[in-house]
Structure 1
Amino acid sequence: MFDLKASEARREAERLQRITHAKAEKSEEDYASRYLKQRLHEAEAEKHYLFEKLKLQESSSRASQSSVGVSEPSQMMMHNKIQDLLKNMYTTPTKGDAQSGDI
């Protein structure tokens, strides 16, 4: 009689353990799903923010370049490179200048 009650209790305990294990797994999956959805939403918001920031920078860059007369991106890049070269040319002394100053 006690063996019968013990085996019934053991089966009931195993059934309850399976139920709690299944509920714990479902809870973890739900949490992971909600977490990933939130991260996706944050990433999309950041992407939108960066896109708007980039558009604003491009429009302000175009406005400043249009006053110089540069319209295409390749022309703008070339214009910036030329400006950098001119700045470097006027700020760094050449070898001849450095040697003539040493004499």
Structure 2
Amino acid sequence: MIGELIVEFLTELPDFDPKKHKPFGGRYWLGWLGILVNLIIGAFLTFLVGYTLFSIGKGNLAFILIFNLFLIPTTLFWFWRTSRLFKKMWQTTLYNLDNKS
């Protein structure tokens, strides 16, 4: 069960089949917890970008620029990935609310 959830989290293919899992069950709330974890990691990456950009005058400029050339696209990709996961969870929520009866 744990391995299945980890694989679904990493591949972004959560299984919300209503025949297998009840609406608003544990898997549903784990999906929202995954979004919360993604937002926390995204906030940390954004903090790192801001911190390194504001510390340009204090350290090795070449290292900071190379680090930010890697970090800025990573942060943008992370938020794009989180938005896709949020959209998927929102669609699941609307589906569960429509078929609650």
Q: What TM-score, normalized by structure 1, do the two folds share?
A: 0.37
Q: What TM-score, normalized by structure 2, do the two folds share?
A: 0.37
Structure number with bigger Rg: 1
Larger proportion of helix: 1
Instruction: Using CA pairs under 8 Å that are at least 6 residues apart, name the structure with larger relative contact order, 1 or 2.
Output: 2
